[in-house]
Amino acid sequence: MSMPFYVSPEQLMKDRADFARKGIARGRSVAVIQYADGVLFASENPSQALHKVSEIYDRIAFAAVGRYNEFENLRIAGVRLADMRGYAYDRRDVTGRGLANAYAQTLGTIFSSGGEKPYEVEIFVAEVGDSPADDQIYRLTYQGQVTDEHQYAVMGGADEVVATYLKEHYTENASLSDALHVAVAALGRSSEDGNGGAGDRVIPAGDLEVAVLDRTRTQPRKFLRLMPARLEALLGDRGPTTPAAPETAATPESEIDPTDLPEDPASE
């Protein structure tokens, strides 16, 4: 009979967290910004079919980074949960808080259960209210931690760089166009230096995935995707654009080299 190696719980959790963080850091960032009429999501995503930002319910949207198959499962679960609650009770009874709690429980359980690998995802759940003060943005990490974000938040690959830029340039109650400019410029940043680095890029409108929860929409469903044509009109002339470096574009962020997988001490 072989003796299992002893691994301290601290080490076990740290290994799992490192594993998840590594997976998440591979992807490109998603930024979320509050503006005068609601909440704006922006990310660099050349695919028009595989979305990082999606609608969950009337006032609730979802954004994620990390492994596509994992956050897609969570998104579908969220849509089902929201639709079922709205059908059983009323549309007003579907809240972002309830959804964030369900996600937190799910991610937390998966993270701390020994048998499964942790999800390599991070999620935003945002709900738009009747006024900017009522807007809510929740950030959920791979371990099921929930944080309440205000004004702006970033997750994914170069989140520090993007967040630094947003911190310096964010203004409250900005117009849609202003908020979009700030978010897109932040996503194209390459260094934390306030003056920008040599590698700063102007991301082409076709490579942007942008969506808003717009409280001024007359329909009950406040979610709206901004298509490239609309983005170009809003962004105006920004000079020559640079698509993402081909090697990053060619490697889907959700693909993980199997050799990168750490050996799971618990399964030995």
Partner 1 sequence: MVDSRLPASYMMPGTSSFADFLAGQAPDLLPARRTVPQGHAGDLVPHGTTIVAATFPGGVVMAGDRRATMGNIIAQRDIEKVFPADEYSCVGIAGSAGLAVELVRLFQTELEHYEKIEGMTLSLDGKANRLAGLIRSNLGMAMQGLAVVPLFAGYDLAAGQGRIFSYDVTGGRYEETAFYSVGSGSLFARGSLKKLYRDDLSEDDCVTAVVQALYDAADDDSATGGPDLTRRIFPVVQVVTAEGGRRFADSEVAQIADAVIAGRMNRPDGPAAALT
Q: Which residues are at the interface with partner 1 (CB under 8 A)?
A: 49, 51, 54-56, 72-74, 76-77, 79-81, 83-84, 86-88, 102, 105-106, 108-110, 113, 221
Please say which residue, 113 or 147, places its beta carbon nearer to partner 1.
Answer: 113
Please say which residue, 56 or 176, places its beta carbon nearer to partner 1.
Answer: 56
Beta carbon of residue 55, minimum distance to partner 1 (angstroms, whole number): 6
Tallying the residues shown for the chain, one arrives at: 268
Beta carbon of residue 57, minimum distance to partner 1 (angstroms, whole number): 8
Q: Cα–Cα–Cα angle for 126, 203, 60, nearest 5°?
A: 10
Beta carbon of residue 73, minimum distance to partner 1 (angstroms, whole number): 4
Beta carbon of residue 56, minimum distance to partner 1 (angstroms, whole number): 7
Query: What letter represents residue 112's amino acid?
Result: S
Q: How far apart are CA 82 and CA 61, in angstroms?
A: 11
Q: How far apart are CA 236 and CA 155, in angstroms?
A: 26
Please say which residue, 84 or 261, places its beta carbon nearer to partner 1.
Answer: 84
Please say which residue, 22 or 225, places its beta carbon nearer to partner 1.
Answer: 225
Beta carbon of residue 226, minimum distance to partner 1 (angstroms, whole number): 16
Residue 252's alpha-carbon distances to 68, 69, 113, 158, 196, in angstroms, are: 9, 12, 28, 16, 27
Tell which residue, 268, 254, 258, 265, has the closest CA to residue 16: 265
Please say which residue, 4 or 87, places its beta carbon nearer to partner 1.
Answer: 87
3-state secondary structure of 195: coil
- Give the pair of three-digit tokens for residue 45: 């995503």
